[in-house]
Structure 1
Amino acid sequence: MPAKSDLPPALSPEVAFGRELRRLRNAQGWSLDAFGARVGYSGTMVGYFERAKRPVPEAFVTSAEEVLGLNGELVALWKEINPKIAPKWFRQWPKIEAAAIMIRSWEPLIVPGLLQTAGYARAVLRGVPGATDEEVDQALEARLQRQTIFNGPSSPIFAAVMDEGVLHRPIGGKKIMREQLEHLATLMDHPKITLQVVPLEAGATTGLLGGFAIAQLPEARDWAYLESASNGRVTDRLDEIQGISLRYDTIRAWAHPLHVTKDVIREMQARYEDE
C-alpha cells in the first residue's frame, strides 16, 4: 500500500495568500506595524493574515493592493479563499486539478465544469438558490480560471464521461446549448482531452448515484471529488478512491467510443440549430 501523501502546503489558498502577503511586505522593508499603519489594520492583525489565522476581509485586500502598488495579484489569491467563490469544502479541489497528471470525470446531469463555455457555466451558476449577480460573476471567473490548466505543456490528461441526457437538457436556451456542443466537439481534438457519452439506452447505471472526479497526482495518492444534491466532498481515503475508480470503469464500459460520441454531439448540435 502506498504511503499517505498529504497535499503540499502551497495547495492551501489561505497559506498561499499569507505567504505572498509576507513576501510583498518584506520586499518593502516594512514591519508588521508599519505596514498595518499604512493599510488601516493593526500589526497584530496583519500577522494573523500572514499566518492564515484569521479570515481576510475584502477591505484589507483592496487597501493592501493600493499601498503595495499591485494590479490584482493579491485579489486573485484572495478570491480563492473568498466564500463567495466556492464553499470551503471545494476550495482545495482546483489546486488538486492543477497539480494532477490525469483526471477522470463522470457527470450524469451537466457538462463537466472544466469543459463548460462561459454562457453555459453562467446559466448553471444562476441556478444556485439565492445567488446574487456579483456572486455568479465571481463564481464564473473562478470556473473559467480552472479551465486554464489545459493551456500549458504540463496540462493533465482529462478523461470525461457524461450521460447522453446532458446533451438533451437545454441549459441556458438553444443558442447557448449550440455553442456548448460546438465547444465540446472542438475540445475532442485536444490531445489531452477525451469525452465519451453513455447512451440513454443504457438505462439505469451506477452513474445515477451522482457525479464525481478522480485526480491522479504525481508521486501521491489519488484524490476524488464527489457531488451531491446539497453539498460535496473531497477525499483521499484509499478505500473510497478504489470504490469510485471501480464505478468509473463500470460506467465507461457503457459509453460510446470516441468517434461515435463526436457524431452524437454533432447530431444534437444540428438538432438545436434546426429548432
Structure 2
Amino acid sequence: MNETKYENEPNCESGALQPFTTVLGAVLRTTRIKNGSGLREVGRAIGKHPAIVSNWERGSRTPPSEDVAGVLGALNVVGEDKTRIRNLAAVTTPGVIVTGRQDVPHHLATLIDCEAQAAQVTVWEPLLVPELLWDEDYARETLLALGYAPERAARLAELQTDRRHLREQPLPITAYLGETALTRRAASDRAMCSQLRRLAQLNVSADEQITVRVVPFSKIALHPGLSSPWAIYSMEKRAIVYLGHVESGTFVDDQDCHYSRAADQLSDKALSKEESTKALLSFAAKHALNQLEDNDEPPVVSSVATRTPR
C-alpha cells in the first residue's frame, strides 16, 4: 500500500504560526464535521475544554500527538485516514511535505480537507489550466503528454475532476493562468476547446464562485509568478501555500508575503474577468477550427517519457 508520509521542511519565520499546524487543524475540523460531532462532544470525550479543541482546528494551537489520537478515537476514525492524520500530527517542523503522487488517496484527501476549510483559494498556473479546474478529457490528455502511463493518467484525471464534487460547499477560487495555457496544445484541439469553453462558463455562472483571469505574457514584463505555479489557501488564521510536484506536494508558509504580493501583481497585470471570458471563447473557437482542419490528435509523448512512465 502506498502511504503518505510527512517530512521536514526548512524553517520559516521564527515564532509564527506554522503551516503544518494550519493543515492539521483543517484536517481535524473536516473530519469532525464529516462525523457529525460537535466541539463539546469531542472535548468531553478527550477531557479538554471545547475552546481548546476549537483552537486546534483553527490552527491557533498545535495539539499534542496523544490528543490527536484521542480525537481520532472519539470520532471513530480508522484505517487509512487514521494513519494519514497521525502521520501529520507527528510533524515537528514548520512546513509539510506530502509525499506520494496525487492519485495516492492520502495525498488527495489532505488537499480536499484543506480546501473544505479554506475561505478562498488563489491559483497561479503559467503554462496549463489549473488542475482545480480541469475537465476530465483535458486532464487525461495533459497527464499523458507529461509522461504519465495511461492507467495512471486516467485514474488521476478522474480523481481531479471528482475533487470538485467532494466539497460540500462551493469553493471560492480566483485562478490566474498564463496566455500560454490558451495557445499551447497540452491536449487535443477537441479537449482544449471543451476546457476553455468550460472556463468561460465558470466565469459567467451565478452558481459558481470562480473567477478565471488570463495573464497575457506578450504584453508584460517579468513578474514573480513566472518562477513556478502555486496555490494560496486562505484559512481563518493564516494563508498557506501549496506547491505541487510530480512525486509530492509541499505546504509552506507565505514567508514575507512573497506569494501574496505575487498574486497582487498578477491581479494588476491580468485581463479583467470580462476580457478573460472573451479571450477564452476566442481561443476555444480557434481550437474548434483547428479540429475541423487538422488530424486532431493529443500531443505526442516524448521517447524519454515513454521509456520511464510515471
TM surpasses 0.5: yes
Partner of 1:43: none
Partner of 2:23: 7
In structure 2, what is the Cα distance between the partners aligned to 1:178 and 1:125?
Answer: 17
Contact 2:132 2:164 survives alignment (8 Å): yes
Contact 1:104 1:159 survives alignment (8 Å): yes
In structure 1, what is the Cα distance between the partners aligned to 2:17 and 2:246?
Answer: 33
Determine which of 275, 279, 285 is the counterpart of 1:260: 275
Unaligned ranges ≥5, structure 1: 21-46, 55-80
Partner of 1:222: 239
Residue 205 of structure 1, CA deviation = 2.6
Residue 215 of structure 1, CA deviation = 0.9
Partner of 1:24: none
Partner of 2:149: 132
Contact 2:138 2:191 survives alignment (8 Å): yes
In structure 2, what is the Cα distance between the partners aligned to 1:263 and 1:178?
Answer: 14
In structure 2, what is the Cα distance between the partners aligned to 1:3 and 1:48?
Answer: 29
In structure 1, what is the Cα distance between the partners aligned to 2:102 and 2:123?
Answer: 25
Aligned partner letter, 1:94? I
In structure 2, what is the Cα distance between the partners aligned to 1:182 and 1:119?
Answer: 13
Determine which of 224, 246, 256 is the counterpart of 2:261: 246
Determine which of 123, 127, 146 is the counterpart of 1:109: 127
SS of structure 2 residue aligned to 1:7: helix
1:206-217 to structure 2, matched below 5 A, reads: 206-217=224-235
In structure 2, what is the Cα distance between the partners aligned to 1:271 and 1:87?
Answer: 37
Identical amino acids, percent of aligned pairs: 24
Partner of 1:142: 159
Unaligned ranges ≥5, structure 2: 1-14, 36-76, 85-98, 291-310
Contact 1:84 1:135 survives alignment (8 Å): no
Contact 1:182 1:269 survives alignment (8 Å): yes
1:94-243 to structure 2, matched below 5 A, reads: 94-129=112-147, 131-148=148-165, 152=168, 154-191=169-206, 192-199=209-216, 200-217=218-235, 219-227=236-244, 232-235=249-252, 237-239=253-255, 242-243=257-258
Partner of 1:85: 103
Residue 91 of structure 1, CA deviation = 5.3
Residue 86 of structure 1, CA deviation = 4.0
Residue 102 of structure 1, CA deviation = 0.6
Instruction: Report which structure shows greater RCO (CA 8 Å, sep ≥6).
Output: 2
Residue 51 of structure 1, CA deviation = 8.7
SS of structure 2 residue aligned to 1:6: helix
Aligned partner letter, 2:119? I
The farther-off stretch of 200-209 and 185-194 is 200-209
Cα 1:48–1:159 change in 2 (3 A) is closer
Instruction: State the TM-score, normalizing by the size of structure 2.
Output: 0.59
1:22-72, CA deviations, whole angstroms, 9 ceiling, x for partnerless residues? Answer: xxxxxxxxxxxxxxxxxxxxxxxxx99479459xxxxxxxxxxxxxxxxxx
Contact 1:211 1:228 survives alignment (8 Å): no
Contact 1:101 1:155 survives alignment (8 Å): no
The CA RMSD measured in Å over matched residues stands at: 3.4
Instruction: State the TM-score, normalizing by the size of structure 1.
Output: 0.66
